[in-house]
Amino acid sequence: MKFKTIIYLNVICSMIVIFLGIKICLAPIIGKFLWGEEYKKLAFGCDNVMREHLITKNELKANVNKKNVQNLRSAELGLISCNDYDKIRKKLLIWGVSNRELSLLSLEAIEENTEDVRDFIKTHEFRY
């Protein structure tokens, strides 16, 4: 009877180790494979929208007029697209993809979508 109990406990422990191995090692790889490219596209798009919002907000602060107010409202509507980015980011975090890996994916997206060094610099700088 004790022998069967030991075997059952070993099987249960083995299953737990296998499950944790899959969760820790395999799940992040699967998550990046399934949603990595979509994350890159959404991260790049959201980054551009947030930059445009900052620029239009600063333009409005510098010069308050009807056109700049309208531009800011349009830029604020564009921020809605960042919701999809946020959802997929959270999904990847749940799947075990680290913040460092997500940052790397974002940088890869910038590199893939910029053809010129000047565009790359423009993507990384903020204008005040």
Q: Which domain holds residue 116?
A: 2-124
Contact assessment for residue 75 and residue 56, using Cβ atoms and an 8 Å cutoff: yes
Q: Apex CA 59: angle with CA 58 and CA 63, to 5°?
A: 120
What are the DSSP calls for 74-118, one per residue? HHHHHGGGHHHHHHHHHHHHHTT--HHHHHHHHHHHHHHH--SHH
Tally of domains within the chain: 1
Phi, psi (5° rounding) for residue 115? Answer: -95, -20
pTM of the model: 0.76
Tens place of pLDDT per residue across the chain (128 aa): 688 898 999 999 999 999 888 888 899 999 999 999 999 999 999 988 998 999 999 998 888 899 988 988 988 888 888 999 999 999 999 999 999 999 999 999 988 887 765 665 665 565 55
